[in-house]
């Protein structure tokens, strides 16, 4: 239904503002979680049209991506340190943002892939030279040609970034994976240079 949000009474300049009309969508999970958790309930306000079920469904679907979008921005800010760059022109900032967006996407993709399919082969995300270098670093006596699992490779990468991998440490975060991937790329470059001499 459409709703009108009135100008706040305590706003310093209420005469300069107009009420805003939005569309309200109330979403409630019809079948609550089987583990006894509370059903999801959202009250969404949107400026998009909600005249059909399809339009309402689209609003709900887009809102369901909110957490991923927040994680993407967190990865850009904390993992990649985009705010710490001191670039002098808007063009340089746009180029940096474009490049770091790819890096942030890859970091998030690696993180979620390792959590969703931990037993998959790490070759879905790493080149053979990369996982072999990781194995040589963390299990130097191993002569196995079988790639490690995705989860094991992500733990090794996180350990390069400072993750301690103790039993109660939980899953590595994007900052640690960013540092680990950076170090892995440096190690790869060193190994490639050493093989040429």
pLDDT digits 0-9 by tens, 8-61: 989 899 888 999 999 999 999 988 888 888 999 999 999 999 999 999 999 999
Beta strands in the chain (DSSP E): 2-5, 20-28, 41-46
Q: Which of 11, 37, 64 is the last residue of a domain?
A: 64
Quick one: what percent of the chain has pLDDT higher than 70?
100
φ and ψ of 96, to 5 deg: -65, -40
For 110-158, the pLDDT digits (tens) are 888 999 999 999 999 999 999 999 999 999 999 899 999 999 999 999 9
Are 132 and 74 within one domain? Answer: yes
Are 115 and 53 within one domain? Answer: no
The residue range of the domain holding 156 is 68-196
Q: What's the first-to-final CA gap in the chain, in angstroms?
A: 71
For 158-188, the pLDDT digits (tens) are 999 999 999 999 989 888 998 999 999 999 9
The number of distinct structural domains making up the chain is: 2
Are 135 and 121 within one domain? Answer: yes
User: What is the Cα–Cα distance from 91 to 169, expressed in whole angstroms?
Assistant: 41
User: What is the Cα–Cα distance from 118 to 133, expressed in whole angstroms?
Assistant: 20
The enclosing H or E element of 24 equals: strand 20-28
Are 155 and 78 within one domain? Answer: yes
For 78-109, the pLDDT digits (tens) are 878 888 888 888 899 899 999 999 988 988 88
- Phi/psi region, residue 25 (left: phi>0; alpha: psi -120 to 50; beta: rest), is beta
* Cβ atoms of 163 and 169 closer than 8 Å: yes
Predicted TM-score of the model (pTM): 0.73
Are 54 and 88 within one domain? Answer: no
Are 31 and 82 within one domain? Answer: no
What secondary structure does DSSP assign to 35-75, as a single string? Answer: TSPPPPEEEEEESS--SSHHHHHHHHHHHHTHHHHHHHHHI
Are 59 and 78 within one domain? Answer: no
User: What is the Cα–Cα distance from 147 to 127, expressed in whole angstroms?
Assistant: 10
pLDDT (0 to 100) of residue 42? 94
pLDDT (0 to 100) of residue 79? 74
Are 81 and 9 within one domain? Answer: no
Are 191 and 97 within one domain? Answer: yes
């Amino acid at each position: 239904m459409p709703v009108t949000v009135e100008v706040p009474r305590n706003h310093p300049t209420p005469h300069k503002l107009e009420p805003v009309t939005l569309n309200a969508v109330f979403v409630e999970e019809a079948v609550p979680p089987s583990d006894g958790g509370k059903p999801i309930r959202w009250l969404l306000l949107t400026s998009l049209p909600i005249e059909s079920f399809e339009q309402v469904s689209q609003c709900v679907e887009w809102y369901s991506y909110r957490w991923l979008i927040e994680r993407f921005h967190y990865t850009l800010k904390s993992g990649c340190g985009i705010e710490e760059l001191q670039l002098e022109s808007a063009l340089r900032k746009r180029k940096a943002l474009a490049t770091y967006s790819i890096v942030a996407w890859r970091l998030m993709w690696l993180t979620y892939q390792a959590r969703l399919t931990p037993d998959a082969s790490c070759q879905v995300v790493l080149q053979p030279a990369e996982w072999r270098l990781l194995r040589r670093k963390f299990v130097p006596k191993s002569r196995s040609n079988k790639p490690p699992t995705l989860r094991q490779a992500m733990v090794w990468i996180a350990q390069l970034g400072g993750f301690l991998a103790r039993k109660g440490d939980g899953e590595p975060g994007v900052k640690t994976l960013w540092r680990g991937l950076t170090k892995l790329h440096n190690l790869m470059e060193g190994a490639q240079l050493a093989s040429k001499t």
